[in-house]
A = this chain, B = another copy of it.
Amino acid sequence: MPRPRSPLLSVDAIVSTALSLVDAFGDFSFPKVAKELGVSQSALYNYIENREHIIELMRGRVFSSRPLLDTENLSWEDALRTLAHGYRTCLLEHPRLVPLLVTQTVRDLGVMGIYEDMAIVLGKAGLAASAVVPAITTVDYLVLGSALELTAPEVVWSPPSGQFPALSAAIANLGPPAKRSEAAFAFAVEMLLAGLRQGVKMDF
């Protein structure tokens, strides 16, 4: 095949295809991305370095829709709440991406900006400097964990009949996964805010 007049591929096209595969099947592979784009497997390496690179590009894509925060006109509480929920919202349409994200260091600068925003907000909250990273880390855990929950086809715990009465009772009348995940996340964020509000000081 001769070299095409305009390239058949692009980084964007590769990332889009990989992301749609992740959304649909929970994973992607070079053969599948190549097939989808009607191109040979090795052609992908003209645009990306390796599998990790594609994943990092997907991370950037998903969080590029991050809404700009008006840090000035908000109380630190409202700012942090908005940041946390906005962060999570970006993942809502791509929850199956999370397992691929959690094993890789964050390099995307857009995502780094979210952390920077949180650091600023927490500083304004008067949180001890040594507690800023723990607090950000906590939000991170909550966002990723919450999104991860949307991945499971069923509930994460499926206690067998009879045993585990307290757990079974608590699970009994739960809403659909989306609502449940949202509720758990909102709950956790409010817990965090309440804790910060109370000015819990610990010696790290």
Residues on A facing B (Cβ under 8 Å): 26, 99, 102-103, 105-107, 109, 112-113, 115-116, 119-120, 122-123, 129-138, 140-142, 144-146, 148-149, 151-152, 154-160, 163-167, 169-171, 173-175, 180, 183-184, 186-188, 190-192, 194-196, 198, 200, 202, 204
* 26 A-B pairs (CB sep. < 8 Å): A105-B154, A105-B155, A105-B157, A112-B164, A115-B157, A115-B159, A116-B164, A116-B165, A116-B166, A119-B164, A123-B170, A129-B169, A133-B170, A134-B188, A137-B188, A138-B184, A141-B142, A142-B145, A144-B145, A145-B145, A186-B202, A190-B200, A190-B202, A191-B191, A195-B195, A198-B198
Task: Pick from B106, B148, B195: contact of A156, CB below 8 A.
Answer: B106
* Minimum C-beta distance from A38 to chain B (A): 30
Q: Interface on chain A toward B: helix, strand, loop, or mixed SS?
A: helix
Q: A112-B167, A170-B129, A194-B195 are in contact. Are A156 and B105 (CB under 8 A)?
A: yes
A190 neighbours in B (Cβ, 8 Å):
195, 200, 202
Q: Are A137 and B102 in contact (CB under 8 A)?
A: no
Q: Are B133 and A174 in contact (CB under 8 A)?
A: yes
* Minimum C-beta distance from A113 to chain B (A): 7
A160 to B187, CA, bound (A): 33
Task: Pick from B123, B129, B180, B198: contact of A194, CB below 8 A.
Answer: B198
Q: Are A191 and B195 in contact (CB under 8 A)?
A: yes
* Minimum C-beta distance from A105 to chain B (A): 6
Query: With contacts A119-B169, A175-B204 known, what are 11 further pairs, Cβ within 8 A?
Result: A102-B102, A105-B154, A105-B157, A112-B159, A112-B167, A119-B164, A123-B170, A187-B202, A190-B202, A191-B200, A192-B195
